Structure 1
Amino acid sequence: MISKISRAVVTTLLITGLMGCSLWGGGANKPKPAELGGNVSVMGVHQAWVAQLGSKASAQLVPHVNGNTITFASVDGVVASIDPRTGGDVWRANLGEQLAAGVGSDGRWAAVVSQGNELVVLEAGREQWRYRLAAQVYTSPLVAGGRVFVLAADRSIMAFDAADGRRLWSQARLGEPLILRQPGVLLAAGETLLVGVSGRLVGLNPDNGAGRWEIPLASPRGTNDVERLVELVGPASRVNESVCVRAFQASVGCVDATRVTLKWTQVSNGIVGLDGDEVTVYGTQSNGVIAAWGRNDGSRVWSSERLQYRKLTAPLLLGRSVVVGDDSGLVHFLSREDGVPLNRVITDGSGIALAPVALGDTLVVVTRKGSVYGFRPD
């Protein structure tokens, strides 16, 4: 039996082993990344601008696209809303403390969580209020309907009034004793708040936190806490009533959030979330294989090993391409139809920190050094 103290240690080791180091071991046992060969530019892409966010970015600090701006946060406390047309600031704030999660925004309020477990809400770059939480947070807050929703590492879920910070409700949820230090699933689908709790997608009433339904997508396995770890990881892909998610190193699957039914699951060993359209869902595996599944039935559409062992971000579906970043700082454009390379572009070489985002015709990527790049088609 693992004690509470050793559980905390195991959690840290697990996070470091899976997220901070190689997924395939070190030294001579580390697989060599697939050779890329020459870049054949089938689709023209050029760098439109570059900006500096802060000194460091991380996968927990997910940017948020809203209206005509994209809001970012850096580990060292910079929160900035950027105009993707120019890369210039709409507003910028420096909170002067390290951040653990964010950004959530509805276009008016932006929410982040500090490494000191404080939920901080800003309006137009000015801090409005903060609330000290009882547990760490690794998932971006959700700002919707004049409220701020928070999913904490202890799997508690809270709602706050976005205007004044009043706590509206709080619900504790039971799960496995270990957690992942990476973004989970927290999003809205119609009048339901969707939350990933262990291997289940849970539907809550956003007005009071009351549970409406639960759908399991993965079950704990193994004989100890580490082996039994199962979590839903973000980003999720939602198209109308269809919500598709990944269970960490276990499976991908889609649910119908209106009919409250599990449509399908498929075994898939991956650590980051998904993107997709009405027909297809795309994901990257832990070994760098990129896969596409039919959204309605989970059938394999295609898979590509061209970027194997390159430590890929979650994908972004953009126009005719699926876009992923890798740990060498390259951004890859693959055909959404069959995974054939269309182009690749370079950044500062520090590695792409999180899944690419897009607004209009501008693709935006953030490197681990906090550089923000805007790319556009020729």
Structure 2
Amino acid sequence: MRRARPMMLPWRKPHYWAWKRVYYALNATILEALAMQHPPFNNSTFSAPRKTALVAASLLAATLLFSGCAAKKDHVDPPAPLKEFAASVSTQDVWSYGMGSADRNAQLSLTPWVGRSAAGSVLVATDARGQVVAFDPRNGEQRWRTELGFAVAGGVGGGSGGGDKVIVTGLRGEVAALDLSNGTLLWKADIGSVVNAPAAVGPQSVALRTADGRLVVLNSSNGERLWSDARPVPPLSLQGTSQPILMQDAVLAGFDNGDFTAYELSSGRRLFTVNVALPSGRNDVERMVDVDSTPLFDRGVIYALAYQGRLVAIDAATAQVIWATKMSGFSNLSLDAQAIYLTDANSHLLAIDRRTGRTLWSQDALHARNVSAPLVLNG
């Protein structure tokens, strides 16, 4: 089936899907501002005048972004043509479940969570309207179903490998904790801003990255706020945020200004900050350096990626950069013992040597086709 031609943009050879994220980010800013006109709206780093200014700036930027498109020649990189090939791996659908549809303009990424509960392996998924369903991942048998009563923005967050609860976040800053065994609402909190990525859930803490530039840590037992830290928000950024990473005594988070920061989990004290990307360029578009890719931690090394920036490897013990390589991306990373795998902003798939940062191989057969993040199987 022939793919519809992408919308024309005035810039020469842009990263088309990155531009779409900018457009949806403008829409999301407006929608969030409108949603926040209705109480409750508290504990936000934005005052009402600041939010109004953001809406006005978003409307102006959206107008500038798309005005004059028809008068200019189309310089969008065309998607690579799809070629027939002989499949080397066979797949089979095991089961499926329809979670309903959502507004395409919302550009949501409602990632399911897979882990273990007292009853065994469980997959928990949500839709944009607030329906949360738990399944047996082996056969799709439904374990429980809960209606939250609010619009969902950030997907499902759970503990690494298991735990007793999952966290779902809403468009107006709602945070809901559900019992993993039966879907019962354990507690509900309001953090005042939308969370576009799943929460990181630990035994005592829940960490969330908000769209207004904050890292918020809540008590996992009751939802009470333990601490928060606000970072500068650029005038323009991509839609979405990265998921924080909870460790035993620390929490790791990337921000829209290109910073990657490690915090002391108990107090919120900043342990170290690494600039994954430094803004450069003559306008706000060229200066976007979001760390929207969720960082990875493995064998004492942290890996972080920024849009229009770098892929860096950081020694967690010393906070020193082991290596850095120029890279641009916003999808999550994957790894095995030898390499890091990523999809860059052009939808090229790359394998990067974990020790040196050298590119082992790259694949551009799906150029400009909005390729998802890679996943390593049996790695």
Q: Is 1:315 aligned with 2:364?
A: no
Measure, in 2, the Cα distance between the counterparts of 1:145 and 1:297.
35
> Could you tell me which amino acid in structure 2 is paired with residue 109 of structure 1?
K
Retained in 1: the 8 A contact 2:172–2:193?
Answer: no
Measure, in 2, the Cα distance between the counterparts of 1:256 and 1:17.
42
Retained in 2: the 8 A contact 1:248–1:272?
Answer: no
Match of 2:205 in 1: 147
Match of 1:327 in 2: none
Q: Is 1:34 aligned with 2:80?
A: yes
Retained in 1: the 8 A contact 2:171–2:193?
Answer: no
Alignment of 1:163-202 (within 5 A): 163-197=221-255, 198-202=257-261
Alignment of 1:1-378 (within 5 A): 4=50, 5-11=52-58, 29-56=75-102, 59-67=108-116, 68-106=121-159, 107-123=163-179, 124-197=182-255, 198-319=257-378
Q: CA deviation at 1:13?
A: 7.9
SS in 2 for 1:317: coil
| Runs (5+) with no aligned partner, structure 1 | 19-25, 321-378
SS in 1 for 2:367: coil
Query: TM-score scaled by structure 1?
Result: 0.74
Root-mean-square deviation (CA), in Å? 2.7
Measure, in 2, the Cα distance between the counterparts of 1:17 and 1:130.
40
Retained in 2: the 8 A contact 1:189–1:257?
Answer: no
Measure, in 2, the Cα distance between the counterparts of 1:82 and 1:273.
24
Q: CA deviation at 1:31?
A: 3.7
Measure, in 2, the Cα distance between the counterparts of 1:129 and 1:13.
39
Identify if the C-alpha distance between structure 1 residues 55 and 15 changes in structure 2 by more than 3 Å, giving closer, same or farther: farther
Q: CA deviation at 1:189?
A: 3.4
- CA deviation vs aligned residue, 1:261-302 (integer Å, no higher than 9, x gap): 212222223232211123101111222211111111110100
Measure, in 2, the Cα distance between the counterparts of 1:190 and 1:223.
42
Retained in 2: the 8 A contact 1:195–1:201?
Answer: yes
SS in 2 for 1:209: coil
Measure, in 2, the Cα distance between the counterparts of 1:122 and 1:61.
16
Which protein has the larger Cα radius of gyration, Structure 1 or Structure 2? 2
Q: CA deviation at 1:46?
A: 1.3
Give % identity.
Answer: 26
- CA deviation vs aligned residue, 1:216-274 (integer Å, no higher than 9, x gap): 11111124444322221123333222221210232222212223221222222323221
Q: CA deviation at 1:43?
A: 1.6
Q: Which stretch shifts more, 202-211 or 141-150?
A: 141-150
Retained in 1: the 8 A contact 2:177–2:188?
Answer: yes
Identify if the C-alpha distance between structure 1 residues 312 and 225 changes in structure 2 by more than 3 Å, giving closer, same or farther: same
> Could you tell me which amino acid in structure 2 is paired with residue 108 of structure 1?
D
